[in-house]
């Protein structure tokens, strides 16, 4: 089996998993491309990406262009004489001239079962939408947004307790392993790309902090999925008086319930808060992990023992009803 010369392009932790596994394979990583260092932390100190840190630890040459559209950047890439370019959550668009440079083109590790959830936040959007399965697709890149032909697919279940963070970590490992298998097969000429289906295309918009505020007029199942999807970022929250209560794990309570004002804290269980929700407050959201301002995330059982008065039955969470209604008016 021939050894491929690989240029790796990626930036966050998800990409670092693929690079780490690739470095343990028979293939040769000749260079690493990653986003320029960004300010991070309270001191806003310029910080290298996880991929850059890993590359430097292995004495790999690192390139951090602002764009790959410039002829000089493309010439620099061409000089590396790579057989293939592997792209994992890089963050820069690759023009056609770059896609055409390597002998075997460019392949991408994408954290969804394409064509569902093309775009920036496929892991969280799959959970938020209530999908029962997710996965990783290895695809041959083309000029479109996650539209390339598929080389491999790995599936994994989403359960009623799967969080965005847990699914991220699972797919990072599965994607890394699938990537190396695909490179092995490409080196042998033993793999064929399959065009993506035209049906079932959805787009995973980038996450924003603004959408993390919960609206208790929504159904409990929808809210529970959003809470799990947004854990650990941006973390779903609701107003608790002038403070914010952050919610990190939740489920929908089954059965029939009397109507209540959406956002009302109902009589709690031993280990969970119960919040009335839905258009008529007949749904019940059960929250088992939460975080009060100034505190750390903890099991609700502990939270009730520590701050029981703030979470008393009858307390209203979220926007006042009038304010929520005004916000819904076009």
Tally the domains of the chain: 2
Query: pTM of this prediction?
Result: 0.94
- For residues 185 and 69, membership in a common domain is answered with yes
294: DSSP letter: T
DSSP state, residue 213: B
Between β-strands 84-88 and 5-10, what pairing exists: parallel, antiparallel or unpaired? Answer: parallel
Select from 189, 204, 219 the last residue of a domain: 204
Tokens for 157, please give them: 């279940």
| Residues present in the chain in total | 330
Q: CA angle, 81 as apex, 140 and 175 as ends, to 5°?
A: 35
Residues 288 and 162 in one domain: no
DSSP-derived 3-state class of residue 39: strand
Q: How many CB atoms are closer than 10 A to CB 287?
A: 28
Q: How many CB atoms lie within 10 A of CB 101?
A: 20
Handedness of CA 272, 277, 278, 281 (dihedral sign): positive
Residues 6+ apart with CB under 8 A from 112: 118, 122, 123, 126, 134, 135, 136, 137, 204
Give the list of residues 6+ apart from residue 90 with CB closer than 8 angstroms, or none. 9, 10, 11, 15, 33, 34, 35
Residues 219, 194, single domain; the answer is no
128 and 98 assigned to the same domain? yes
Let me know whether 181 and 314 are in one domain. Answer: no
Q: Which of 244, 284, 243 is closest to 263 using CA atoms? A: 284
Which pLDDT value is given to residue 307? 64
Phi/psi at 176 (5° precision): -65, -45
CATH code of the domain containing 317: 3.10.25.10
Dump pLDDT digits (tens) for 45-72: 999 999 999 999 999 999 999 999 999 9
Last residue of a domain, one of 204, 234, 260: 204
pLDDT value of residue 304: 86
The CATH code of the domain that includes 49 is: 3.40.50.170
Residue 329's pLDDT is what?
A: 40
The pLDDT profile of the chain, 330 residues, written as one tens digit per residue, is 589 999 999 999 999 999 999 999 999 999 999 999 999 888 889 999 999 999 999 999 999 999 999 999 999 999 999 999 999 999 998 999 999 999 999 999 999 999 999 999 999 999 999 999 999 999 999 999 999 999 999 999 999 999 999 999 999 999 999 999 999 999 999 999 999 999 999 999 999 999 999 999 999 999 999 999 999 999 999 999 999 999 999 999 998 899 999 999 999 998 999 999 999 999 999 999 999 988 899 999 998 887 667 889 999 999 875 555 444 444
Of 303, 270, 263, which is closest to residue 285 (Cα–Cα)?
263
Query: In whole angstroms, what is the distance from residue 222 CA to residue 34 CA?
Result: 36
26 shares its domain with 164: yes
State residue 305's pLDDT score.
83
Let me know whether 22 and 170 are in one domain.
yes
Q: What residues make up the domain containing 54?
A: 5-204
DSSP single-letter state for residue 323: H
Instruction: Please give the span between the terminal C-alpha atoms of the chain, in angstroms, as a whole number.
Output: 62
User: Which residues lie closer than 8 Å to 71 by C-beta, 6 or more apart?
Assistant: none
Contact 303, 290 (CB under 8 A): yes
Indicate whether 262 and 224 sit together in one domain: yes
Q: Are residues 20 and 156 in the same domain?
A: yes
State the pLDDT at residue 27.
98
């Amino acid at each position: 089996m021939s050894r491929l010369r690989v240029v790796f392009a990626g930036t966050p932790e998800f990409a670092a998993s693929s690079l780490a596994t690739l470095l343990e394979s028979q293939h040769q990583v000749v260079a690493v491309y990653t986003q320029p260092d960004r300010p991070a932390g309270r001191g806003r100190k310029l910080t290298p990406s996880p991929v850059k840190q890993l590359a430097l630890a292995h004495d790999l040459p690192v390139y951090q262009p602002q764009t790959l559209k410039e002829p000089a950047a493309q010439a620099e890439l061409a000089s590396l004489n790579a057989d293939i370019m592997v792209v994992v959550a890089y963050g820069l668009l690759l023009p056609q001239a770059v896609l055409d440079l390597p002998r075997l083109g460019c392949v991408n590790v994408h954290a969804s079962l394409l064509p569902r959830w093309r775009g920036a936040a496929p892991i969280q959007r799959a959970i938020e939408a209530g999908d029962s399965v997710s996965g990783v697709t290895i695809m041959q890149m083309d000029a479109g947004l996650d539209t390339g032909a598929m080389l491999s697919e790995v599936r994994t279940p989403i359960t009623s307790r799967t969080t965005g963070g847990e699914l991220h970590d699972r797919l990072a490992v599965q994607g890394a392993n699938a990537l190396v298998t695909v490179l092995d097969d490409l080196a042998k000429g033993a793999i064929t790309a399959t065009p993506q289906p035209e049906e079932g295309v959805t787009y995973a918009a980038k996450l924003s902090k603004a959408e993390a505020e919960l609206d208790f007029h929504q159904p409990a199942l929808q809210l529970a999925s959003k809470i799990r999807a947004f854990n650990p970022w941006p973390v779903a929250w609701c107003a608790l008086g002038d403070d914010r209560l952050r919610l990190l794990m939740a489920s929908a309570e089954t059965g029939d319930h009397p109507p209540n004002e959406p956002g009302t804290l109902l009589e709690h269980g031993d280990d969970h808060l119960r919040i009335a929700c839905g258009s008529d407050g007949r749904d019940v959201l059960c929250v088992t992990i939460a975080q009060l301002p100034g505190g750390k995330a903890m099991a609700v059982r502990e939270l009730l023992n520590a701050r029981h008065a703030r979470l008393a039955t009858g307390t209203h969470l979220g926007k006042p009803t009038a304010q929520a209604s005004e916000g819904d008016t076009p």
